[in-house]
Amino acid sequence: MSSIQNIDIKNIQEELRKFLEHTKKCLPHISIYTVIFSFNNDNLNVLLLRFGDTQYFSLPGGFVLKNEKIDDASLRILKKRTDLSKLYIEQFTTTGNVENPNEDIYNETLKKMGIVLPDNNLMNQRRISICYYSLIDAAKVNPKGNDFFVSEVKWRSVQKLPELMYDHKLIIEKAISKLQLDMDRKLVSYNLMNETFTMGELQKLYEAVFQREFTRTNFQRKMLSLNILERLDKKYSGESHKAPYLYRFKNIQ
Amino acid sequence: MSSIQNIDIKNIQEELRKFLEHTKKCLPHISIYTVIFSFNNDNLNVLLLRFGDTQYFSLPGGFVLKNEKIDDASLRILKKRTDLSKLYIEQFTTTGNVENPNEDIYNETLKKMGIVLPDNNLMNQRRISICYYSLIDAAKVNPKGNDFFVSEVKWRSVQKLPELMYDHKLIIEKAISKLQLDMDRKLVSYNLMNETFTMGELQKLYEAVFQREFTRTNFQRKMLSLNILERLDKKYSGESHKAPYLYRFKNIQ
């Protein structure tokens, strides 16, 4: 996680040149953003990129190649940031207001870095953002921020979000709503848990996602009624009779 | 609902000219499509446009003006087709595959009509489609299809869909899934009902949307438990003591 002060101007200019080459191959006016969730230390976290030397962060994002499906663009961007393939992704909204909030911060920061983008570059255009969320195990990832405008890549708790660029606060809020909905309808939570877990650990995930507390008995009753969990045998050794049961999700490949 | 054979070539060329003028003011590579639902004769219907003299239909759609929010573009397109403003809209997906199925039908039909679109016109480009659904009262609408490629505008039952252009079958299927989800979570069904209705009429709407039957007592119990309905007094006159209760939705402006 290098600080922007450590990147020399020659490197920035070289990264910028590559970036501009890439944007020529992409559709205009369209961005992809991905809210990458992980669950760690009882918190629901999102992966954010610090923008230059500012206090502003943005979501990992990118553009759509002219011959690329939008789902594939989202997976490509995820691979670039996390080195992981075949991640679970879920499209949840497309935002398309005319104004980009904080565009002045964007322009001033680039100026300070000695960067001038050509007129009508994708970054300067009005953009429509197709938004996905993904669920990953933070322990498996060494997140990357190898772009000229990224000075730091960080997991941040959704309860303590920093200042965000563009409409990214709204996008994260919508992603959390969709995740809550999907937790009730689809079997998505296994993406955020270890293979085996206690009921208490699962409850902590639900509490982090729904941002409220559940009572232990009600939570357990609800989870068992969904018929998605398999209870594993306790290993009787030493004090383990006091240990809680371990569970795993049924029917997960 | 004029047949395409009745439109003379001069009119088509004039409509085409206006259309091309309009597309110059729009963002490239982006379409808006709207699945307009109504509930009539116990069927969930969608508004479809017949494409030229073919057996293929498409959803009402359009493009996004360079200075227009995407929600506003959806409302503008709805107004153009229905003359109604302030309709309920819900964005539910964005599709973005590289290939447009049935593009050959599209090109051949235009050719037969003597229409040649300029290269790289919005209609020939690879397009990403932002999709909305809307719920309207079919009785209030005289749907319009005043485009050079539309020969007929029709309500069609979702259970008997005709052949559809592009990926519009998939879009309609996704719209129905989202509508089902929203019926359970949000108060959207009032958009499809008269102001007052019997429990039996409401059950018919649910059966049309969910494409399955409910038992009368279970349906009634579920609806009443949601606490969204207000039961009106029966009017005692003649045989009306046999008439079912009328209901209306609570808290609808």
**In the predicted structure, residue A237 carries a pLDDT above the cut 70:** no
User: Mean pLDDT throughout A35-50?
Assistant: 93
What are the strands of the beta sheet with B197-198, ordered from one edge? B197-198, B246-249, B229-231
Query: For residue A191, what are its two tokens?
Result: 């993406």
Instruction: Tell me the DSSP string of B183-225.
Output: HHHS--GGGGS-SSEEHHHHHHHHHHHHTS---HHHHHHHHHH
Of A94-98, A184-188, B5-9, B229-233, which gets the smallest average pLDDT? B5-9
Query: For residue B208, what are its two tokens?
Result: 């049309």
Burial label for B183, CB within 10 Å (0-12, 13-18, 19+), is middle
**In the predicted structure, residue A49 carries a pLDDT above the cut 80:** yes
Across the interface, which of A64, A96, A181 has its CB nearest the CB of B70?
A: A96
* Cα–chain center distance at A192: 12
Q: What is the pTM for the complete model shown?
A: 0.89
**How much is the pLDDT for B1?**
39
Across the interface, which of A30, A126, A185 has its CB nearest the CB of B128?
A: A30
User: Would the CB atoms of A94 and B70 count as touching at under 8 Å?
Assistant: yes
Touching check for B64 and chain A: CB below 8 Å?
Answer: yes
What are the φ/ψ torsions at residue A49 (nearest 5 degrees)?
-110, 125
**In the predicted structure, residue A89 carries a pLDDT above the cut 60:** yes
Q: Report residues of chain B scoring pLDDT below 50.
A: 1-6
Touching check for B47 and chain A: CB below 8 Å?
Answer: no
| CA angle (A238 as vertex; A233, A243 as ends), nearest 5 | 50
**In the predicted structure, residue A5 carries a pLDDT above the cut 50:** no
Optimal mutation site among A89, A98, A100, interface B, most CBs of chain B within 10 A: A98
Touching check for A29 and chain B: CB below 8 Å?
Answer: yes
Which residues in B lie closer than 8 A to residue A185 (C-beta atoms)?
181
**How much is the pLDDT for A163?**
95
Residue written as tokens 């009119």? B11
Strand partners, B90: B133
Touching check for B93 and chain A: CB below 8 Å?
Answer: yes
CATH number of B193-249: 1.10.10.10
Alpha carbon of A179: minimum distance to chain B alpha carbons (Å): 14
Touching check for A28 and chain B: CB below 8 Å?
Answer: yes
Which residues in B lie closer than 8 A to residue A29 (C-beta atoms)?
27-30
What would you report as the CA-atom Rg of chain B, rounded to the nearest whole angstrom?
A: 21
A17's enclosing H/E stretch is helix A9-24
Among chain A residues, the shortest Cα distance to B26 is held by A29
Contacts of residues A78-86 at CB distance under 8 Å and 24 or more positions apart, as own/partner, are A78/A34, A78/A36, A78/A134, A80/A144, A81/A36, A81/A47, A81/A143, A81/A144, A81/A145, A81/A153, A82/A36, A82/A47, A82/A136, A82/A141, A82/A143, A82/A144, A83/A141, A83/A142, A83/A144, A84/A136, A84/A140, A84/A141
Touching check for B29 and chain A: CB below 8 Å?
Answer: yes
Task: Decide if A2 contacts A99 (C-beta within 8 A).
Answer: no
Strands A229-231 and A246-249: antiparallel
Pairwise CA distance, residues B10 & A207, whole Å? 65
**How much is the pLDDT for B230?**
92
User: Which residues fall within 8 angstroms of residue A27, CB to CB, at 6 or more apart?
Assistant: A63, A64, A65, A66, B28, B29, B126, B128
Touching check for A97 and chain B: CB below 8 Å?
Answer: yes
**How much is the pLDDT for B236?**
60
**How much is the pLDDT for B4?**
44
Which residues in B lie closer than 8 A to residue A126 (C-beta atoms)?
27, 66-67
Which residues in A lie closer than 8 A to residue B64 (C-beta atoms)?
96, 128
Share of chain B above pLDDT 70, in %: 92
Share of chain A above pLDDT 70, in %: 92
**How much is the pLDDT for A4?**
44
Q: Which CATH class is domain A4-185?
A: alpha beta
Task: Using pLDDT thresholds of 50, 70 and 90, give the confidence band for residue A112.
Answer: confident
Query: For residue B60, what are its two tokens?
Result: 């009402």
User: Would the CB atoms of B70 and A128 count as touching at under 8 Å?
Assistant: yes
Pairwise CA distance, residues A67 & B99, whole Å? 9
**How much is the pLDDT for A3?**
41
For B124: left if phi > 0, alpha if psi spans -120 to 50, otherwise beta; the answer is alpha
How do the domains of chain A map onto residue ranges?
Answer: 4-185, 194-249
The verdict on ipTM greater than 0.90 is no
User: If DSSP codes are grouped into helix, strand and coil, which group holds residue A217?
Assistant: helix
Optimal mutation site among A25, A33, A69, interface B, most CBs of chain B within 10 A: A69
- Which of the listed ranges A53-62, A224-233, B143-152 does the model predict with the highest average pLDDT? A53-62
pLDDT per residue over A117-135, tens digit each? 888 888 888 999 999 999 9
Alpha carbon of A189: minimum distance to chain B alpha carbons (Å): 19
Length of chain A as a residue count: 253
Among chain A residues, the shortest Cα distance to B126 is held by A66
Touching check for B66 and chain A: CB below 8 Å?
Answer: yes
Alpha carbon of B181: minimum distance to chain A alpha carbons (Å): 10
Give B48-100 as a 3 state SS string: EEEECCCCEEECCEEEEECCCCHHHHHHHHHHHHHCCCCCCEEEEEEECCCCC
User: Would the CB atoms of A30 and B66 count as touching at under 8 Å?
Assistant: no
Which residues in A lie closer than 8 A to residue B128 (C-beta atoms)?
27, 30, 64, 70, 130
Strands (DSSP E) contained in A1-138 are: 26-40, 43-51, 56-58, 61-65, 89-95, 128-135
C-beta atoms surrounding A180 within 10 Å: 14
Which residues in B lie closer than 8 A to residue A26 (C-beta atoms)?
none
Query: For residue B89, what are its two tokens?
Result: 């809209």
Instruction: Give helix B199-210 / helix B168-185 axis angle, nearest 10°.
Output: 140
